[in-house]
Amino acid sequence: MTTAALALDVRDLGVMDYAAAADLQDTLAEERLNDEIPDTLLLVEHPPVITLGRRASLDDVYLTEAQLTQRGIQLERATRGGLVTYHGPGQLVGYPIVKLRPRGLTVPCYVRALELAIVAALQEIGIQARIDEGHVGVWTD
């Protein structure tokens, strides 16, 4: 992994529908692949939405689609791996659009580096967080 300074374009999108954010990610990923933009981090807050990753099915969601709709929660299929994820008000979501190969990183290695960085940043502001070896993400009590 290189330690050279790297450009990162951070874009605060505010509140944005999940599908619109996914479309923007697809567009920016293509631009990044063609070196038209630098590595980019999208920061966004979504209205209530449950996303189903490639390995998920509706059986993984505890409510029916009708119950979700009644509660104002959208249901979206996601092209990412994984299972079921909830995003909603007050939750800041970061979507990195970066080239890993030039840095000698794999996706699992990059995800772990992000998790560790988030744990360290939260610790700096007095929030105790941890990584759960059985799950992807950063967890707090």
Q: What is the pLDDT of residues 54-63, one digit of tens each?
A: 989 889 999 9
β-strand 138-140 against 129-131: which pairing, if any?
antiparallel
Evaluate whether residue 27 is within a structural domain. Answer: no
**Residue 4 pLDDT > 60, yes or no?**
no
C-alpha angle with apex 64: 87 to 72, nearest 5 degrees?
A: 45
Position 74 scores a pLDDT of: 96
Residues 6+ apart with CB under 8 A from 42: 11, 13, 21, 24, 25, 28, 94, 95, 96, 97
Evaluate whether residue 29 is within a structural domain. Answer: no
Evaluate whether residue 63 is within a structural domain. Answer: no
**Residue 21 pLDDT > 80, yes or no?**
yes
Mean pLDDT of 86-111: 93
Evaluate whether residue 37 is within a structural domain. Answer: no
Position 5 scores a pLDDT of: 58
Mean pLDDT of 26-39: 97
Position 133 scores a pLDDT of: 86
Number of structural domains the chain divides into: 1
The whole domain housing 124 covers 106-141
**Residue 20 pLDDT > 80, yes or no?**
yes
Model's pTM, two decimal places? Answer: 0.85
For 107, list phi and psi in degrees, rounded to 5: -60, -50
Evaluate whether residue 113 is within a structural domain. Answer: yes
Evaluate whether residue 78 is within a structural domain. Answer: no
Confidence bin at 81 (pLDDT 50/70/90): confident
Which tens digits make up the pLDDT trace of 115-137? 999 999 999 999 999 999 888 88
Q: Which residue has the higher pLDDT, 5 or 69?
A: 69
Mean pLDDT of 18-33: 97
Evaluate whether residue 13 is within a structural domain. Answer: no
Evaluate whether residue 44 is within a structural domain. Answer: no
CB neighbours of residue 124 within 10 Å: 8
Residues 6+ apart with CB under 8 A from 25: 42, 95, 97
Q: What are 52's strand-pairing partners?
A: 77, 84
Position 126 scores a pLDDT of: 96
